[in-house]
Amino acid sequence: MTVSPISGLSGLSGLTLPTAPTVGGTSGAGFGNVLTSAVQNLSDQQSSADSLAVKAVTGDLTDIHQATLAATRAQVTMELVSAVRNKGVEAFNEIMRMQA
């Protein structure tokens, strides 16, 4: 089965996708760094979305799509961070229920 490329998506050329972090060793420091960077990324995206929303309301923003995309990125990132947190809490609770 041949998959043909989707045409008409040339406007997404500036979109950068996150890369999977490489974690070496089993110290747990790598996992902590990944979580820290994810929360920092979330904070940066929310700040960007907030500033673009203010510009849109005051009329300083010429392209409303920028504000919409920034708000959507921040929302999706928040949902992802929340899901990872929930899975972490579930895993912790499951470990605590294990009998020695």
Per-residue model confidence (pLDDT) at position 32:
80
Q: Would you say 70 and 45 are in contact if contact means Cβ atoms under 8 Å apart? A: yes
Residue 89 lies in a domain: yes
68-73-74-75 Cα dihedral, nearest 10 degrees: 90
Residue 25 lies in a domain: no
Per-residue model confidence (pLDDT) at position 35:
82
Domain range for residue 71? 30-97
Q: How far apart are CA 65 and CA 38, in angstroms?
A: 24
Per-residue model confidence (pLDDT) at position 69:
94
The count of structural domains within the chain is: 1
Q: Would you say 71 and 46 are in contact if contact means Cβ atoms under 8 Å apart? A: no
Residue 41 lies in a domain: yes
Is the pTM here over 0.85, yes or no?
Answer: no
pLDDT greater than 60 at residue 25: no
Residue 21 lies in a domain: no
Residue 6 lies in a domain: no
Span 46-94, pLDDT tens digits: 999 999 999 999 989 888 999 999 999 999 999 999 998 899 899 999 9
With left for phi above 0 and alpha for psi between -120 and 50, is residue 23 left, alpha or beta? beta
With left for phi above 0 and alpha for psi between -120 and 50, is residue 28 left, alpha or beta? left
